[in-house]
Structure 1
Amino acid sequence: MDETLDRFLPVYGHRAVHGITLAAPPERAWAALQQVTLADLPLPRMLLAVRTLPSRLLGTGPDLLDRSVPLAELFRRDDRWVTLADEPGRVLVLGRVARFWDPVPRAPVRLGDGGGFLAFGEPGWAKAVISHEVFAHGSGSRLVTETRIQGTDARARRRFAAYWFLIRPGVGLIRRSALAAAGRRCAGPVR
């Protein structure tokens, strides 16, 4: 997976990696991850509700709190994210350019595709990639999610660093909760 992420964001200032080993074959683990909804994640749902409150009060941005829609679909519904790599049943990489630190997100940067993501370099923004990958691991499988973020200039890197300091624990909670929910859908993690 590092090769794919390195192709889109080889230099990054912030990174979070989370994984879970499951007693299920990769195809079952992948299907389980694709079915996880916010209904499976009560505490992360609350964190997302707090984070999106300014946008919801203003009536802007997509509805990312639908409890019945799989998270994978919510991300793809949100036109702020572009698919960078998609190998069904194995890996999905999404990218986004934003000023994540703004309480109310601005209009999304229209990247079009991976080429647009790579080419974007306007100062004052941060580029983020999120990957989900599954691979065989012993008699089961391993699900791994990785997030990388890099500011497009020094000021954006400083602003994002302050924001990341505040939200990183929540990001980790959301990722670990989603992986655990996939594990529950597969009859539980090996460890």
Structure 2
Amino acid sequence: MVDPSQPRLIDHHLPIYQFVERHSLRVVQPLRDALKHVITPQVVEDPFALRMIALREAPARLARKLGLATRLPERPFGLPDFVLLERKGDEELVLGLAGRFWQPDYGLVPLTDATDFARIGQSGIPRLVLQFATVKLPDGSTLLSTETRVHCPDSASLRRFRPYWWLIRPVSGWIRRRMLQRWARTAISSAIAQASSSS
């Protein structure tokens, strides 16, 4: 579990940012190995999120049908587009993304690792980090949390990203909260199953 007094991985990978979104959910019981569930299909394949992504991508997909050029992949945008930056046991997981996110095809830049992510920060392209963390609270409960940060490296990208952020933020927040709920249900079900098998 994350120790609040210690530096976090997310602070290492993106310490400077202009946009941030944080959400958390307290689970009454203690959870072990909760972090391994957060990127499973049971958590990330939320029907509501998939519908919102389909709506977001509709213009680019229509352009493709009309024979216009687009870099949008055949599959919907999702966690496979992120690169793993770092993980610390069952405490913290940090994923990274780089691109001109306001473009119809997201303007994503391919990344292979944390070194790529750090290097792209010098190129004028916005970067995003997505963190998931678990904290064991004094009363024995577990706090599941997620944080999203975005850094725009110049005034031009900042001007373009800001209206996009305010447009998507309400839906993004809803998706994050639903993801926390799905994560909690999956982790609790796994804990119950493990307890049953060991009894």
Q: TM-score range by the shorter chain?
A: 0.7 to 0.9
The runs of 5 or more residues in structure 2 that have no matched partner are: 65-69, 190-199
* Aligned mates of 1:168, 1:18 — CA distance in 2: 12
CA-CA distance at 1:64 after TM superposition: 3.3
1:47 aligns with 2:52: yes
Task: Judge conservation of contact 1:26–1:135 (CA < 8 Å) in 2.
Answer: no
CA-CA distance at 1:62 after TM superposition: 5.3
Match of 2:88 in 1: 87
Q: Give the aligned residue type for 2:75.
A: D
Match of 1:140 in 2: 141
Larger Rg: 2
SS in 1 for 2:105: coil
Q: Which of the numbers 19, 25, 34 marks the counterpart of 1:14? A: 19
Runs of 4+ with >6 A deviation: none
CA-CA distance at 1:181 after TM superposition: 1.6
Match of 1:63 in 2: 75
SS in 2 for 1:110: coil
Instruction: Give aligned pairs, total.
Output: 173
Task: Judge conservation of contact 1:130–1:148 (CA < 8 Å) in 2.
Answer: yes
SS in 2 for 1:63: coil
Task: Give runs of aligned pairs for residues 42-191 of structure 1, distance below 5 A.
Answer: 42-57=47-62, 58=64, 60-61=72-73, 63-64=75-76, 75=79, 77-78=80-81, 81-106=82-107, 108-120=108-120, 121-123=122-124, 125-137=125-137, 138-185=139-186, 186=188
Task: Judge conservation of contact 1:127–1:151 (CA < 8 Å) in 2.
Answer: yes
* Aligned mates of 2:36, 2:30 — CA distance in 1: 10
SS in 1 for 2:171: helix
* Aligned mates of 1:55, 1:94 — CA distance in 2: 25
CA-CA distance at 1:56 after TM superposition: 4.1
Residues 122/32 of structure 1: CA separation in 2 closer, same or farther (3 Å cut): closer
* Aligned mates of 2:174, 2:103 — CA distance in 1: 21
* Aligned mates of 2:74, 2:30 — CA distance in 1: 34
RCO greater where, 1 or 2, for CA within 8 Å and sep 6 or more? Answer: 1
Residues 82/62 of structure 1: CA separation in 2 closer, same or farther (3 Å cut): farther
TM-score after normalising by structure 2: 0.76
